[in-house]
Amino acid sequence: MVIEKLINNKVIKLFSEKNLVFIATIMKDGSPQVSPVWANYDDGFILVNTAEGRIKHKNILRDPRVAVSATSTDNPLDMTTIRGTVVEIISDVDYSHADKLTQQYMGREHYPFKRDDEKRIILKIKPYKVFVLPELKMSD
């Protein structure tokens, strides 16, 4: 299935707002590892910003399969879960992606948590399975 058909407007909206995203990676022993992250959607891919050397980065170098989940802060029934593969790890040495996400999540122009010993990277995720919770009607 074409990626664009997997991703609908609800998914794009969830990844365009201030919603915390959770990424699951696979540990060396096969157990899952979950981290809260900032992420956005761009041209068919989910982009997650993290630092080089973090556990999720190490896990992805060994096994690029991931799952991500986003839930609306306004409505917990507005959610998506996505399974995919990290197809590229992109350097964010100039913090341009981190700055973009800082604007999205904090309304600030620049990423405020820079550390001299840290190299930011972007995990570019190609979705292959997308679930979106359909609109639910609540009964009285």
Range(s) of the domain holding residue 48: 3-131
CATH code of the domain in which 72 resides:
2.30.110.10
> Could you give the 3-state DSSP secondary structure of residue 129?
strand
Instruction: Tell me how many domains the chain contains.
Output: 1
Token pair, residue 66, equals 């991931």
Give this prediction's pTM: 0.90
In a domain, 137, yes or no: no
Query: Would you say residue 136 lies in a domain?
Result: no
Asked if residue 123 belongs to a domain, the reply is yes
Sole residue written with tokens 């799952």 = 67
Residue 138 domain-assigned? no
Asked, for residue 140, whether it belongs to a domain, the answer is: no
Q: 19 lies in a domain?
A: yes
> For 71-130, what is each residue's pLDDT tens digit?
999 888 889 999 999 999 999 999 999 999 999 999 999 998 888 889 999 999 999 999
- Per the structure block, which two tokens stand in for 58? 């190490």
